[in-house]
Amino acid sequence: MTNRTSAVPDSTLSSPRGGEVPRQHFWQNLVVACVSLAWSGGFLFMSLALPAGHSRGDVGPGSLPMQVSIFGLVVSAVYLVQVLRGSDLGGSSDKIDVARVAGLLGLFVAVVLGANWVGLAICLGVGTGVATLLFPGEKPLLRAVATGFSFWLIAWGLFGKLLDLPLP
């Protein structure tokens, strides 16, 4: 008999340092948690600048963004606590694909800047369609068209027509 907790050689089921779990992705997860907290906090700050409701019972245009940002703050705080407690929540063990990240960031900026000229619904549709082309998969053109059309339909139909929100 050996003094191991697992019969499988080189198993990751038993911790290597007397009960300590290796934290391979600690810094990645810590950065993600902090960025998520900052993003949600900024979103909350911006939603507080939106006007309040006009009558009793009217929630006003700032209500939904405020609720989304508070939810984001709560989820980000829970994520940060999990990271600080030592939970390895995964991360990239390989090199980060800088070209793909830069492409997505550039696409995001283009959609934000183009929304006032072209329209938010069209920019979201084109942006998400092009973004799907940056990821591998089967039938990329069909996926891009379906994704772009779906996002356009959600932005135009749900927010523009059904909820009657003024979109740029």
For the segment 101-139, what is each residue's pLDDT rounded down to a tens digit? 888 899 989 988 888 888 888 998 999 999 999 888 899
Q: For residue 2, is pLDDT > 80?
A: no
Q: What pLDDT score does 149 carry?
A: 94
Q: What pLDDT score does 27 carry?
A: 83
All structural domains of the chain with their residue ranges: 23-89, 97-168
Q: What pLDDT score does 91 carry?
A: 62
What's the mean pLDDT in 16-31? 66
What's the rounded Cα separation, in Å, for the pair 103 and 113?
15
What's the rounded Cα separation, in Å, for the pair 95 and 114?
32
- Provide the token pair at 38: 């900052």
Q: What percent of the chain has pLDDT over 90?
A: 28
